[in-house]
Structure 1
């Protein structure tokens, strides 16, 4: 059975505390927990797993997926 990946096209479905993946060109670039979001601007901030760094991700530069 094929694994179907569905990326987020609406940040209103993402909530603080969700685990989020950020992909570029089929490669996972960031993984972390959502800390803040601005759906009207298409951006979300995560606390990156492993490094603890805070990252701002946008829907234009990344393919975002809930994990």
Structure 2
């Protein structure tokens, strides 16, 4: 039973390392994506749509 617990702990630690690498790679990808011109335009569109939503909600009240 002790050996089983040790094996489970080792597998758990390995999976944590793999998930951490995946997360880091995803963050690097998103950094590149949003650092491009297209990403900047996408951010501006989001900001404008949020501003329009806020203005329209203020007019309703």
Q: TM range, normalised to the smaller chain?
A: under 0.3
Of Structure 1 and Structure 2, the greater helix share is in 2
TM-score (norm 1): 0.18
Of Structure 1 and Structure 2, the greater strand share is in 1
Larger radius of gyration: 2
TM-score (norm 2): 0.19
